[in-house]
Structure 1
Amino acid sequence: MHITAYTKEFRKNLHIAYPVMLGQLGHVLVGLADNIMVGRLGAAPLAAVSLGNSLVFIALSLGIGFSFAITPLIAEADGAEDVETGKSYFHHGIIMCGINGIILFLLLLLAKPILYHLDQPPEVVALAIPYLEIVAFSMIPLMLFQAYKQFADGLSQTKYAMYATLISNVVNVLFNYLLIYGIWIFPRLEVEGAAVGTLISRFFMLWFVWEILRRKKKFRQYFVWSRKELLKMNIFKRLFALGFPTALQMLFEVAIFTATVFLAGTLGTNPQAANQIALNLASMTFMIAVGLGVTATIRVGNQKGKANFADLRRIAFSTFLLVFLIEAVFAVGFILLKDWLPTLYIENVEVIILSAQLLIVAALFQLSDGLQVVILGALRGLQDVKFPTLICFIAYWIIGFPVSFFLGKEEAMGSMGIWFGLLAGLTASALMLYIRFNYLSRKLLVQAEMQPKMTV
């Protein structure tokens, strides 16, 4: 197949992906703003936000993973033009995400004592605990927002969640500024101020997306609730069957990045601050790939609903090629700007030098990281989630983490060794997931081609 068969899909891929990219990038830019504002308070407050968020990100990965089950089911129903089935998945998805939000809030409160047993600097833990308590409550509005977002994504309407995210990010930055430094009539809460700003913005984001979706003609029929179809266990089982493995996939990946925070913390406050800066920068480029991962889920799910498996493969491979080209540009940018980017966060020379070293490794794993998340998205569109979960576990925890653990010791390679483990895990994941998608999509295509012959 000629290369133009893939590149001609770039425009449509980007049309669906760019609102998700901007929305996700908006989240990370708020993280950047948080880190810059908190970084001005010193290395310990910056490390505290990193440590507090390490537990929040684990909870977040589980909640978002479950919500991802909504998108391929809605996309398949949309491809088959079956509104009633789509509506049922949407309603049950909201209930599931609301319950998840409450459970995650409670689990984060119960998990607080863990921070005292992770060999972290005491001054960092003391600042992280109150931050975590406040941000934990924001899981409830955030999970409900995810239900609305994944529903709209499944209908290929990705822009509305972007609007909600970007506007709420402005709210977040505003309240962070007022509450961290105590501007105007607001109290100076420092690290806790960043948490309160996050909480306010997430309630605003939920209200905004609900308000905008229910008023749009395309969504109106989905917002009609009927009592008889409120609770159907078979629908919850379908959502759970897709959501639980997806949550584990995200958990395995987020947990290894979280482990780097803990491993860096054992090296001291400065290495932990440097690790946070490099992670924040790497997560910005990752959010571009997340947008294309969502696109792969939507478009593969649509083609599955239409039973058009030749186009399914071609469209999926077009997303793989596109993310590879985009991430290659980011990799070059990281290498060229490695000495300057950390200065946006902090003035500590040692932290800047350590961050610059980590950005070299981050540049190398851009390609693997981007590819693995987009291929996972394509597999999710096929509703294949169990085997990819096993792949993620092997890649990150059998291959990646041991490398991080042994090379990340102070007497070995320190922070650089930790990140070489990430590189190994992400590369293994991308390779194995590609083999899986190629096998499954080829199998579906062959079966479809054989069907007419069997009928004859």
Structure 2
Amino acid sequence: MSSYVQEAKRTLGLAGPIIVGQVSQMLMSVTDAVMIGRVGKEALAASAFAGSIWGVFFVMGIGLLIPVAVKVSESHGGGDETQTAEWLKHGVVTGLAAGLLGMGAMLGLRPMLHLFNQPPEVLALVPPYYALIAVSLVPTLGFQVLRQFAESLERPVMPMVFMLVGVVLNVGLNWVFIYGRLGAPAMGLTGAGWATLISRTLGVVAIWWWVSRATHFQAAWPTRWWGGYAWERVRSLLGLGVPISFSLLFESGAFGLAAIMMGWLGATQLAAHQIAISCAAFTFMFPLGLSMAVSMRVSRALGAKRFEALRPIAGSAQVMSGLVMGTFALLFAVGGDWLAAQFVPEREVIVLAASLLVVAAVFQLADGAQVVAAAALRGLSDVVVPTAITALAYWGLALPLGWWLGTRTGWGAQGIWVGLASGLVFAAVALNWRFLRRTRAERLARLVGAGS
């Protein structure tokens, strides 16, 4: 038990600033939703539709970049800072390529948005905002690479500060561009797109300036950026990153498709979904930040050959996640109406969003448990089977059940969310079972090695 308590303290020390950073990043989306919601439910629904597509490309990029943190942590744990620098250099190139490809794909889809069968009044507002957030994908992924590098070298505070400043900047720019303050024209939803692009671009510039000059990173900072790239390293990153990317895509794609199905039901349902998903995504940042620390700590323990610490690191994180998400579940269950009223004034949207938050309360614990388990497995470089698990959970169970309940049984929006909840529960059980099996194998391997 003492080992679990000790590992919990170490994980929380690393995770605390990461969680604050993740929460601040999500606050940008929540404040966008609140400020856009004041323009009208159509604008809020349009931001939900565009954001759901952006989210698919964002998580695919994040999936490709997570191995950078795994490799950096493992090299740093083994005391090889030259390798750490090489993984960073290859990670920056990977992040830039992923951002440009994602931006190009989003812009290529713009003439075909009508094929998603969304309400006409929603589609009319989408194009300018959609194009701006598509471009913002490049600085967003660049920031993620440098942030993960700093956190892997146990310096998570400054990335947190940069993200908090970004939230404040985004709110201020929203106020100027959405509502037309300080002499600027009132651009509504398009103004929110400009605010997002500007704040994200300034964020990546700021973190690059800091990381490249901080003395703590000098030993692990690349001596040259041009040339010296090795296909073996790229293949290693992609070998981990592609399955992780698909794993995240299966989950985020399910939620994105759920938003599209909400649009089939109407603008009210889509706006209510955006409110509820904003709240659920906000609370998810807590176990997500915790899981990022778990992945780094598992990788570092693996690099240092501290096999006995693997289960205590993950197990203590699961307990912390359960406590936090249980608290949020209670808040959603009893305060959903109040929370929804902070976004829009329309009563019909508030009532529906509150009912969706009741469903969200049910899956809070499962959501936290699955993300921590998935991150612990990534720390072990175990990505193929977890990807299959997530594919089955979200596309084999959650989406078909949600579609049937939402469009064929009369459950409507609540039915779609019940389907999502079922997928999260399945993923939580299966991924935790997988981690227990893998760590049992690690112990056996260590015992065999000691005996020989």
Q: Which bracket does the TM-score occupy, shorter chain normalised?
A: over 0.9
Quote the Cα distance in structure 2 between the aligned partners of 1:177 and 1:227. Answer: 39
Match of residue 263, structure 2, among 236, 245, 265: 265
The 3 A distance-change label for structure 1 pair 327 and 450 is same
- C-alpha RMSD of matched pairs (Å): 1.3
Quote the Cα distance in structure 2 between the aligned partners of 1:95 and 1:230. Answer: 12
Quote the Cα distance in structure 1 between the aligned partners of 2:228 and 2:132. Answer: 32
Quote the Cα distance in structure 1 between the aligned partners of 2:402 and 2:154. Answer: 39
For residue 306 of structure 2, what is the aligned residue in structure 1?
A: 308
1:99-178 maps to which residues of 2 (within 5 A)? 99-178=97-176
**Residue type matched to 1:449 in 2?**
L
**Residue type matched to 1:243 in 2?**
G
The CA deviation at 1:446 is 1.1
- Normalised by the size of structure 2, how large is the TM-score? 0.98
Quote the Cα distance in structure 1 between the aligned partners of 2:332 and 2:3. Answer: 31
* 1:121-167 Cα deviation digits (max 9, x unpaired): 01101111111011111111111111111211222222222111111
For residue 77 of structure 2, what is the aligned residue in structure 1?
A: 79
The CA deviation at 1:11 is 2.4
Quote the Cα distance in structure 2 between the aligned partners of 1:214 and 1:291. Answer: 24
**Residue type matched to 1:340 in 2?**
W
* 1:275-302 Cα deviation digits (max 9, x unpaired): 0000000001100011111011011111
Q: Which runs of 4+ in 1 moved over 4 A?
A: none
Quote the Cα distance in structure 1 between the aligned partners of 2:148 and 2:227. Answer: 20
1:217-296 maps to which residues of 2 (within 5 A)? 217-226=215-224, 230-296=228-294
Quote the Cα distance in structure 2 between the aligned partners of 1:396 and 1:129. Answer: 29
For residue 22 of structure 1, what is the aligned residue in structure 2?
A: 20
The CA deviation at 1:411 is 4.7
Contact 2:125 2:189 in 1 (8 A): yes
Contact 2:179 2:186 in 1 (8 A): yes
For residue 429 of structure 1, what is the aligned residue in structure 2?
A: 427
**Residue type matched to 1:347 in 2?**
P
Contact 1:91 1:230 in 2 (8 A): no
Please state if 1:48 is matched with 2:46: yes
Quote the Cα distance in structure 2 between the aligned partners of 1:414 and 1:227. Answer: 53
**Residue type matched to 1:237 in 2?**
R
Contact 2:333 2:358 in 1 (8 A): yes
The CA deviation at 1:236 is 0.6
Quote the Cα distance in structure 2 between the aligned partners of 1:350 and 1:25. Answer: 28
Contact 1:252 1:397 in 2 (8 A): yes
Please state if 1:33 is matched with 2:23: no
Quote the Cα distance in structure 1 between the aligned partners of 2:225 and 2:102. Answer: 27
Quote the Cα distance in structure 1 between the aligned partners of 2:213 and 2:412. Answer: 54
The CA deviation at 1:196 is 0.2
The CA deviation at 1:267 is 0.8
Quote the Cα distance in structure 2 between the aligned partners of 1:57 and 1:32. Answer: 14
The 3 A distance-change label for structure 1 pair 336 and 234 is same
Contact 2:340 2:354 in 1 (8 A): yes
Quote the Cα distance in structure 2 between the aligned partners of 1:114 and 1:251. Answer: 21
The CA deviation at 1:450 is 1.6
**Residue type matched to 1:324 in 2?**
G
For residue 363 of structure 2, what is the aligned residue in structure 1?
A: 365
Quote the Cα distance in structure 2 between the aligned partners of 1:229 and 1:380. Answer: 29
Describe the SS at the equivalent of 2:21.
helix
**Gapped regions of structure 1 (runs ≥ 5):** none
Quote the Cα distance in structure 2 between the aligned partners of 1:9 and 1:224. Answer: 31
Quote the Cα distance in structure 1 between the aligned partners of 2:57 and 2:321. Answer: 27
For residue 181 of structure 1, what is the aligned residue in structure 2?
A: 179
1:80-99 maps to which residues of 2 (within 5 A)? 80-99=78-97
Deviates more, 1:398-407 or 1:147-156: 147-156
Q: Aligned residues, how many?
A: 452
**Gapped regions of structure 2 (runs ≥ 5):** none
Contact 2:118 2:260 in 1 (8 A): yes
The CA deviation at 1:229 is 6.1
The CA deviation at 1:410 is 6.6
**Residue type matched to 2:398 in 1?**
G
Percent of counterpart pairs with the same letter?
A: 34
**Residue type matched to 2:266 in 1?**
G
1:413-428 maps to which residues of 2 (within 5 A)? 413-428=411-426
Contact 2:89 2:222 in 1 (8 A): no
The CA deviation at 1:187 is 1.5
**Residue type matched to 1:437 in 2?**
F
